[in-house]
Amino acid sequence: MFLVAGVSGNTGSKVADLLLSKGEKVRVVVRDAKKGEPWAARGCEVAVGSLADVDFVSRSFEGIASAYLLVPPQMQAEDPVAASKKIIDGYVEALSQNDHLETIAFLSSLGAQYDKLPMGLIDISAYAESKLLGVNVQFFFLRAAYFMENWLGNLAQMQNGTLPTFLRESFPLQMVATQDIAEAAVEALLDPTKPWDVIQIAGPEQYNSWDVAAAFGKALDKHVKVETLPVEDMVQIMGQWGVPPKLAGAMQQMYNAIHMGRCELKDRPFYTYHGRISLEQFAQSAVKSAAAK
């Protein structure tokens, strides 16, 4: 049986979908029992609790051979990095109590290898990899590129013709659709004989902010203009949006790391999984889905 965390989010739900489509038995983890009902209707076991609760996580691992794990965004925490590290420490403790697990695919991030440099939110992935490597389980660390889904937070502005972003207009960035992340995760879980423990996951090619504006503009059938916001003013600007200071500071560090080239693909010694969904395909599908709601 497979355990899947994060099924209320972008990647976990798609991982569970794929495993079910292949006839695998799945146990999903949810905080809210109501959100587990659709999964139970599809034949999943449902574990209801918090990933910050070590005893709950340990019980969830009972009878599990393989798992897809992640750290859900701790956006409401006073210190999101510290809250995330607490969940990771709990994973380590829970796994030490369950030595029967064979394989875990863990959602990480490009740039996680820079554990001695300030990486902001990516520090969470760096911490996770360093801690979990000490556990006697086969890990696949899925170092994913920037989620295409992140741009959906700007869909309302793009519908009004503007794309506000802290990413420099012409800066090329690896991006990936979460469906492709799920495909890579399931491939690793179903074939644990692969000889690598780090899998870089990216889309078909790099994109910049202009590409994003063009792709969504085409899908929306309107011109979308990029509005570049200064990273040096990020904490102040995000504070005006109601974002807590520590979260805004972690995001500012992350964007600085991105612009320094620390989130690029590395040729060696890592394997790279290139997804099939292009930014234009993603934008078309996302706009269509939004219009149907």
Predicted pLDDT of residue 105 = 97
147 vs 252: CA distance, rounded Å? 17
Predicted pLDDT of residue 186 = 97
Q: What is the pLDDT of residues 39-62, one digit of tens each?
A: 999 999 999 999 999 999 999 999
Predicted pLDDT of residue 192 = 82
Where does the pLDDT of residue 71 fall: very low under 50, low under 70, confident under 90, or very high at 90 and above? very high
CA angle 245, 247, 248 (to 5 degrees): 65
Does 9 have pLDDT greater than 80?
A: yes
Amino acid identity at 15: V
Predicted pLDDT of residue 221 = 97
Predicted pLDDT of residue 32 = 95
The Cβ of residue 262 has, within 10 Å, a number of other Cβ atoms equal to 18
Name the token pair of 176.
Answer: 């990936």
Does 292 have pLDDT greater than 90?
A: no
Predicted pLDDT of residue 87 = 97
Picking from 62, 139, 128, 127, the residue whose alpha carbon sits closest to that of residue 94 is: 62
User: Residue-wise over 51-85: b if at least 16 C-beta within 10 A, else e?
Assistant: bbebebbbebbeebebbbbbbbebeebebbbebbb
Residues 240-251, mean pLDDT to the nearest whole number: 94
Predicted pLDDT of residue 77 = 85
Q: What is the pLDDT of residues 106-116, one digit of tens each?
A: 999 999 999 89
Q: What pTM did the predictor assign?
A: 0.95
How does the average pLDDT of the chain come out, rounded?
95
Predicted pLDDT of residue 3 = 98
Percent of the chain with pLDDT over 90: 90
Phi, psi of 96 (to 5 degrees): -65, -20
Predicted pLDDT of residue 267 = 77
Predicted pLDDT of residue 31 = 94
Q: What is the DSSP track for 50-112?
A: -TT-HHHHHHHTTT-SEEEE-----TTSSSHHHHHHHHHHHHHHHHHT-TT--EEEEEEETTT
Task: Give me the domains of the chain, ranges plus CATH numbers.
Answer: 2-292 (3.40.50.720)
Residues 64-82, mean pLDDT to the nearest whole number: 93
Picking from 125, 47, 79, the residue whose alpha carbon sits closest to that of residue 247 is: 79
Residues 83-89, mean pLDDT to the nearest whole number: 96
11 vs 80: CA distance, rounded Å? 20
Where does the pLDDT of residue 81 fall: very low under 50, low under 70, confident under 90, or very high at 90 and above? very high
131 vs 120: CA distance, rounded Å? 18
Q: Distance from CA of residue 198 to its chain's centroid?
A: 15
Predicted pLDDT of residue 152 = 97
Q: What is the pLDDT of residues 132-188, one digit of tens each?
A: 998 989 999 999 999 999 999 999 999 999 999 999 999 999 999 999 999 999 999
Radius of gyration of the chain (CA): 19
Q: What is the pLDDT of residues 183-218, one digit of tens each?
A: 999 999 999 887 789 999 999 999 999 999 999 999
Picking from 86, 81, 73, 119, the residue whose alpha carbon sits closest to that of residue 245 is: 81
Q: CB neighbours of 283 closer than 8 A, spacing ≥ 6?
A: 212, 215, 216, 218, 219
